[in-house]
């Protein structure tokens, strides 16, 4: 790799930090073989983790793009589920970087769409998708259930990619049938206002399962999301229904996000739960609920919904962000 075109990219979560090297001069710039994951608890700071990675790889870089699972506020970012407080300028100085960009993790997820190929996605429903020809305008949405519910977008205009960072996961839950109305009543008694994130994420799956258990008069005990999916896989009726309801609501929320953002060119499904529930997703009520939008049902039936199966979309998106910065500096379309 040429040092002048090498960028250190990172995807920093509350538990793990992933690093990789990207060579912006290549057609496929993200070096898959360079990806390494570390527990964040192993290091006192992000700069320590990044410096350790570069030393371990025997690599040098003069710039970086770090996606962080938390809010980026000017020079500073805070990881939502970890005590690291990251100063962009201080981290850049410690690493000897000329440039360092901190971006929200869902900005990276949105930017990854620019580099996704057909092998990186699985089609959900009847509408197909393929990467857009260079220079054509596009409006995309990205939504992902993990620890929470992330929602973002990507607007492509004049060869540039403009990611939209939103807090769309905190929009209000709208039940679609009597069962979901009862679930809302039970969750409202616990939380007051019920956002979509209370249902469409890992803890949300547990909330749905507990509500369904309460409806049937059973006590499931303390469960993790993996316990619910394991029980469903073993044939447990309430757990199976919890997964079904989760995917139906996920579809409805994804469809709403398309309508709000005008993402007529497709929605991309990401997050930790999507690969684990991929088979169920393809066979579930996700797509019927996604399309069921009254007078817009015919329109929604034509909108692609694609599950991202690329192993590191956050790193791919950080790479796409670096590429877009390079093109903007040179005045050439991405």
Dihedral in degrees, nearest 10, Cα atoms 236, 225, 32, 131: 80
d(CA 332, CA 329): 8
Q: Within the chain, where are the H helices?
A: 46-57, 88-95, 105-112, 178-191, 202-215, 225-233, 237-261, 273-276, 278-283, 286-291, 297-300, 313-330
Is pLDDT of 2 > 60?
no
Averaged pLDDT score across all residues of the chain: 93
pTM: 0.92
Interhelix angle 237-261/178-191, rounded to 10 degrees, is 90
Query: 334 or 38: which carries more pLDDT confidence?
Result: 38
The per-residue pLDDT for 328 is 75
Which pLDDT tens digit goes with each residue over 229-277?
Answer: 999 999 999 999 999 999 999 999 999 999 999 999 999 999 889 998 9
């Amino acid at each position: 790799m040429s040092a002048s075109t090498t960028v250190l990219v990172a995807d920093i979560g509350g538990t793990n930090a992933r690093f990789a090297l990207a060579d912006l001069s290549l057609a496929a710039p993200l070096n898959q073989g360079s990806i390494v994951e570390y527990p964040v608890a192993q290091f006192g700071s992000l700069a320590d983790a990044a410096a350790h990675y570069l030393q371990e790889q025997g690599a040098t870089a003069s710039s970086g793009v770090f996606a962080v699972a938390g809010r980026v506020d000017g020079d500073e970012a805070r990881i939502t589920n970890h005590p690291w407080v990251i100063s962009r300028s201080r981290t850049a100085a410690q690493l000897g970087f000329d440039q360092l960009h901190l971006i929200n993790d869902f900005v990276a997820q949105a930017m990854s769409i620019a580099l996704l190929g057909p092998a990186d996605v699985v089609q959900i429903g009847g509408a197909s998708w393929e990467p857009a020809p260079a220079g054509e305008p596009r409006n995309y949405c990205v939504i992902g259930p993990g620890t929470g519910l992330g929602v973002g977008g990507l607007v492509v205009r004049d060869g540039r990619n403009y990611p939209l960072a939103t807090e769309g996961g905190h929009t209000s839950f709208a039940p679609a049938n009597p069962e979901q109305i009862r679930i809302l009543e039970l969750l409202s008694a616990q939380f007051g206002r019920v956002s979509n994130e209370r249902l469409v994420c890992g803890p949300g799956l547990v909330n749905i399962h507990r509500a369904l258990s309460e409806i049937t008069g059973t006590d499931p005990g303390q469960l993790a999301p993996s316990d619910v999916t394991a029980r469903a896989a073993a044939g447990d009726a309430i757990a199976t229904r919890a997964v079904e309801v989760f995917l139906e609501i996920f579809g409805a929320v994804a469809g709403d996000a398309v309508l709000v953002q005008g993402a007529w060119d497709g929605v991309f499904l990401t997050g930790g739960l999507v690969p684990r529930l991929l088979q169920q997703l393809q066979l579930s009520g996700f797509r019927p609920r996604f399309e069921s939008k009254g007078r817009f049902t015919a329109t929604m039936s034509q909108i692609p919904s694609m599950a991202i199966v690329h192993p590191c979309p956050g790193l791919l998106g950080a790479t796409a962000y670096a590429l877009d910065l390079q093109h903007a500096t040179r005045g050439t379309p991405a």
